Amino acid sequence: MTEGRPGGFLSQMSSGTRRKPTGEESDPFTAGPPIRVPINSWYVGGLGLLIAAIFVIWGNIGYNAFRSSLLAAVDRQGRALLESLIQSTEVTAQANQFMRLQQIRNLADQAELLAARTEAGELDSAALAALPAQQDVDGVVIIDARDRRFAEPPEVISFLDAGDADIAAALENIRSGLTPWETVYRTDSADGEEWIGSLVGGKQGSVYSAWRKVTRIEEVFREIGIGRLIQMVGQKAGIDYIILQTPDGILFASRDVKPVLRIANDPFLMEAVTNNQTATREFVFEGREVLEAVQPFISEHVADGILRVGVSLHAVQQAADRLKQQLLISSIFLGLLTIAAVGFVIVRQNLQTVSRSYQQISTLTGRILDAMDGAVVAVNEDGRITHFNPAAEVLFGLPAGEVIGRPAMELFPGDEVGLRAVAADGIPLRSRELVRAVDGKQQFLSLSVAPIRHPGGKPGGAVAVIVDLTDARRMTERIRRAERLSELGTMAAGVAHEVRNPLNAIGLAAQRLSLEFEVTRDEDEFQQFTGSIISETRRLDKIINEFLDLARSPRETPRRFGLTAVIDEVTALFKLEAGEKNIDLQVSGQPGLELMGIPGELKKAVINILSNAIAATPAGGTIAVTYGKTSADHEVFLRITDTGEGIPAEDRDKIFQPYFTTKARGTGLGLAITARIIADFGGTIDIEPNPGGGTIVEVRLPPA
């Protein structure tokens, strides 16, 4: 967009002095008075009115052109904002759908855990009463093989009424093995509260279910839902309203609005829906002038409708009115020839004021896009970057000043985002996933690209909304890891119980054979055999203990303790072993950090990590143990860096899986137990390759 500057003009009048002929003398007695040209006031007034009229006409033309250019700019920016908002809305709807499925699956997992504990004989009346609070559910119901029903709280048992056709069908499906689990919805007859439950089958026709109030599940989405997104964007300066309207009425709105016409009764909206295109209009909404941009909204996750964005024209009208007023004043002053210069200065000053107002309006959409959490990258019809918001600067590690104006192909080689292709053919890309490698790590991105067109339909470039899903992927992986450990832990408890008793009997029998029986021949071989039996039973008992460490959390009461004392105690244990291998063990950290939990458990986790680091580090290597508090989120971190052989990329996703090990006599339970301990502390553990060779293990824990 180029900014026009009005041309100016300057009229000059010249006057001269008539010279007397050489040698002619003036006679003061005979010389008459000086000749004066009479000034016709009507002529001067008419000339002034003519000049004023010319400037009034010129001012009106300039005013209309200026207002039209402002409206065209707001129109283009409103279209770009509308397209970006649609992309963000679709991404938010997809994220909400994924999280709803995770919530339902979590209820099924809780029901399976209830089944496992019940059939293992771990639940009595007291344990059943405490179970909902322990498993973070609002109710549980057990139906045994003889159709006896037990519930906590007792009123939840009414949700599984045997006479209800839906419930009867669900129970039949589970008991017959048609489905592994069923999800049902019920309404509390007393309070009208809506509940959701998952039913799973057990042994001999038993059925177990876990229940949660829908209002608790919906609380998760209040801060990240489509309605919240529309409200946040709608609060930005210059936005009068944002409405997502379906054929049945308003679905979401950025503020309370009066009832509006149905889509079918509004010809403008119907035309946009029928043609499936973006349209704009100047519109009086609730007594205020707005420029409304609309676009059909089609989604797999929410009802189809039309998205309406009303950009306030108050600033445009103010700027235009100021220009009109000042142009009128300037015209009057310029009509008065005696103060023409003053009028010229005033016009210049007013034009500067108008220019500043125009710039403020032109950057309105830019400020809104800059406030969005997703990265927004826009290009013009020549493929050059025109917008690069702060989220994009963080995502790509480049300041906007270095990329704006450069070809998009320099930032995205091969047009990996698709900006150039969408700008050329006008076909949008929806919810495309892209995987990038950044500093040896995978970065998962979700992007949507939409074309931008000028009001006449001419291609105007493209805009991309890019969302970093890396943290969401990692969180999903941690949830899956926790689910696997929970399932394995339940199985481990049962296996340990069944194996330990016969294992003790075998060990005792071998000891008695070794101590009490006399051997008449091959005594050495006999002692060797019995010794092997005793040694192997002890090794199996150690593995069983590790099984139980994985399966259960300690029964000690958590307390406040210092991190430095735990680190010093553990590193002191490994100083001798590190010295024997000629490994430089370095320890540094911030004193005074305190955690809440069981120090013995954290000590066990650090021992497992350091043991692996020393085993992987060759002679002459270095192991650095550092700890402190992060400046961003004030979490306590513990970072252990070694210069060993590192972990192959294909094994990084397996290292926390039970029984995965690269050691000859390892059980593969050490890091699985470590992950369970860190999870009990409410923290996270991540393993990344060391850029200088080796491995970096970083633990994040909440402070006390």
- Non-local CB neighbours of 10 within 8 Å, separated by 6+ positions: none
What share of the chain has pLDDT > 90, as a percent?
8
Cβ-defined contacts of 232-235 (< 8 Å, 24+): 233/85, 233/368, 233/371, 233/372
Does residue 262 sit in the same domain as residue 348?
no
Q: Say if CB 567 and CB 601 are below 8 A apart.
A: no
Q: List C-alpha distances in Å: 345 to 48, 58, 119, 333, 337.
A: 19, 17, 92, 11, 14
Q: Say if CB 253 and CB 241 are below 8 A apart.
A: yes
Binning pLDDT at 50, 70 and 90, where does residue 665 land?
A: low
Helix/strand/coil (H/E/C) assignment for every residue in 94-127: HHHHHHHHHHHHHHHHHHHHHHHHHHCCCCCHHH
Q: Which CATH number characterizes residue 634's domain?
A: 3.30.565.10
Does residue 191 sit in the same domain as residue 230?
no
Does residue 86 sit in the same domain as residue 207?
yes
- Our measurement of the distance from residue 472's CA atom to the centroid of its chain's CA atoms, rounded to an integer in Å, reads 8
Last residue of a domain, one of 468, 496, 517: 468
pLDDT of residue 506: 74
Whether 583 shows a pLDDT value over 80: the answer reads: yes
pLDDT digits (tens, 9 = 90+) for 329-364: 776 776 565 545 544 554 566 566 656 655 665 566
Q: What is the mean pLDDT of residues 361-369?
A: 63
Last residue of a domain, one of 281, 312, 343: 312
Does residue 534 sit in the same domain as residue 456?
no
Q: Tell me whether residue 7 is in a domain.
A: no
Does residue 163 sit in the same domain as residue 283?
no
Q: Tell me whether residue 672 is in a domain.
A: yes
For the chain, what is the mean pLDDT? 76
pLDDT of residue 640: 93
- Our measurement of the distance from residue 587's CA atom to the centroid of its chain's CA atoms, rounded to an integer in Å, reads 36
State both tokens at 78: 């409103």
Whether 65 shows a pLDDT value over 60: the answer reads: yes
N-to-C CA span, the chain: 56
Q: Say if CB 168 and CB 147 are below 8 A apart.
A: no
Closest CA to 585 of 640, 614, 624, 643: 624
Binning pLDDT at 50, 70 and 90, where does residue 586 land?
A: very high
pLDDT of residue 502: 74
Q: Tell me whether residue 5 is in a domain.
A: no
Does residue 492 sit in the same domain as residue 521?
yes
pLDDT of residue 497: 59
Does residue 478 sit in the same domain as residue 464?
no
Q: Tell me whether residue 36 is in a domain.
A: no
Q: Which of the pair, 190 or 623, is modelled with greater confidence?
A: 623
Q: Which CATH number characterizes residue 497's domain?
A: 1.10.287
pLDDT of residue 10: 28
pLDDT of residue 163: 73
Helix, strand, coil % over all residues of the chain, rounded to 5: 50, 20, 30
pLDDT of residue 560: 92
For residue 70, the enclosing domain spans 41-224+313-371
Q: Tell me whether residue 171 is in a domain.
A: yes
Q: Which CATH number characterizes residue 117's domain?
A: 3.30.450.20
Give the H or E element holding residue 215: helix 214-219
Pairing of β 194-201 and β 181-187: antiparallel
Last residue of a domain, one of 453, 468, 483: 468
Cα atoms in the 13 Å half-sphere on the side-chain side of 450: 21
Provide the sign of the torsion angle of the four alpha carbons 560, 564, 569, 571, taken in this order. positive
Cα atoms in the 13 Å half-sphere on the side-chain side of 298: 7
Q: Tell me whether residue 80 is in a domain.
A: yes
Whether 627 shows a pLDDT value over 90: the answer reads: yes
pLDDT of residue 19: 39
C-beta atoms surrounding 279 within 10 Å? 18
Closest CA to 125 of 109, 142, 112, 113: 142
Does residue 638 sit in the same domain as residue 671?
yes
Does residue 259 sit in the same domain as residue 125?
no
pLDDT digits (tens, 9 = 90+) for 421-444: 777 777 887 777 777 766 656 677
Binning pLDDT at 50, 70 and 90, where does residue 564 land?
A: very high
Q: List C-alpha distances in Å: 210 to 163, 314, 665.
A: 20, 55, 41
Whether 5 shows a pLDDT value over 50: the answer reads: no
Does residue 321 sit in the same domain as residue 217?
yes
pLDDT of residue 331: 65
Q: Which of the pair, 551 or 266, is modelled with greater confidence?
A: 266
Measured distance CA(185)–CA(194) in Å, rounded: 7
pLDDT of residue 24: 40
Measured distance CA(696)–CA(704) in Å, rounded: 25
Whether 93 shows a pLDDT value over 70: the answer reads: no
Does residue 654 sit in the same domain as residue 615?
yes
Q: Tell me whether residue 261 is in a domain.
A: yes
Whether 549 shows a pLDDT value over 70: the answer reads: no
Does residue 339 sit in the same domain as residue 383?
no
Closest CA to 468 of 439, 433, 427, 512: 433
Structural domain tally of the chain?
Answer: 5
Whether 584 shows a pLDDT value over 80: the answer reads: yes
Whether 133 shows a pLDDT value over 90: the answer reads: no
Q: What is the mean pLDDT of residues 104-123?
A: 84
Measured distance CA(628)–CA(638) in Å, rounded: 7
Closest CA to 656 of 624, 599, 701, 612: 612
pTM: 0.37
pLDDT digits (tens, 9 = 90+) for 279-313: 888 888 888 888 888 888 877 666 788 888 888 88
Q: Tell me whether residue 232 is in a domain.
A: yes
Cα atoms in the 13 Å half-sphere on the side-chain side of 635: 15
